[in-house]
Amino acid sequence: MRPATSPVVTNCPLTLRPLELSDVSAWFEFAADPRVLLHTSAQVTQAADLLPIIERGLSTESGTPIHFAVCGSPDQRLIGVAGFHSISVLNKTAEITYTIHPAHWGRGFASAVCGATTRWGFEQHGFVRIQATVLPPNRASILVLERNGFLLEGIIRHFRIVRGEPRDYLMYSRLPADADPLDHD
């Protein structure tokens, strides 16, 4: 679903805006990177594989995925994608997703984007639960979630097929009542 507003990142030089069809080439540049594919169930072999994802996100229909382009300052070049998929309007829940170009790993961008997107989901969409699934070897993403107040709920066995094999995932979640690590009051 195309959002009317975007999350605001306050602690690093990034901006988020709705993902557009024109972002497909820049997104493919890192979505097909083997270092990224190692940590995802996505099957991306060409830029056209990403078009249906962007198109669903441009829908005005309630409950469709929400995707944001993560842009670096000062040139506003696409360096990542974040948002929500598996949105349940009835239950007011969503699964957060974020991917940062490997050239920008280790700078705190994923944590900043995860935090801003999570707060936006609670404040703008009224989600009562935001969850995340992560492959157990993806230590960096686990740390991103934990830094942002997500709590480990357990293991989901054979949750997704990853390159032809069923894989277990860790399930994390955050509720609006959970402490926001950025609140210092």
Task: Fill in the amino acid letter for 58.
Answer: L
Average pLDDT over residues 2-20: 85
Whether 59 maps to a domain, the answer reads yes
Looking at the predicted structure, is the pLDDT value of residue 1 above 90?
no
pTM exceeds 0.85: yes
Q: What is the CATH number of the domain that holds 73?
A: 3.40.630.30
Q: Confidence band (pLDDT; 50, 70, 90) for 123?
A: very high
Burial per residue of 89-104, b for 16 or more beta-carbon CB atoms within 10 angstroms, e otherwise: eeeebbbbbbbbbeeb
Q: Is residue 68 in a domain?
A: yes
Q: Please report the pLDDT score of residue 13 as a whole number.
A: 86
Between residues 117 and 48, the one the model is more confident about: 117
Helix (H, G, I), strand (E, B) or coil at 86: strand
- Least confident range of 29-33, 92-96, 127-131: 29-33
What tokens were used for 71?
A: 């842009």
Q: Is residue 4 part of a domain?
A: no
How confident is the model at residue 181, as a pLDDT? Answer: 76
151 pLDDT more than 60: yes
DSSP category for residue 179: P
Query: Tokens 């995707």 identify what position?
Result: 67
pLDDT reported for residue 184: 43
Query: What is the spatial distance between Cα 5 and Cα 167, in angstroms, rounded to a whole number?
Result: 35
Residue 177 predicted with pLDDT over 70: yes
Backbone angles phi, psi at 175, to 5 degrees: -110, 155
Q: Are 2 and 58 in contact (CB under 8 A)?
A: yes
Q: Supply the pLDDT for residue 135.
A: 96
State the Cα–Cα distance between residues 16 and 97, nearest whole angstrom. 14
Considering the chain, what is the average pLDDT of its residues? 91
Classify residue 8: in a domain, yes or no: no
Instruction: Provide the number of structural domains found in the chain.
Output: 1
Q: What is the mean pLDDT of residues 155-179?
A: 94
Give me the domain span that covers residue 100: 14-174
pLDDT interval class at 163 (50, 70, 90): confident
The answer to whether residue 164 is domain-embedded is: yes
The pLDDT score that the predictor gives to residue 185 is: 42
Residue 182 is assigned to a structural domain of this protein: no
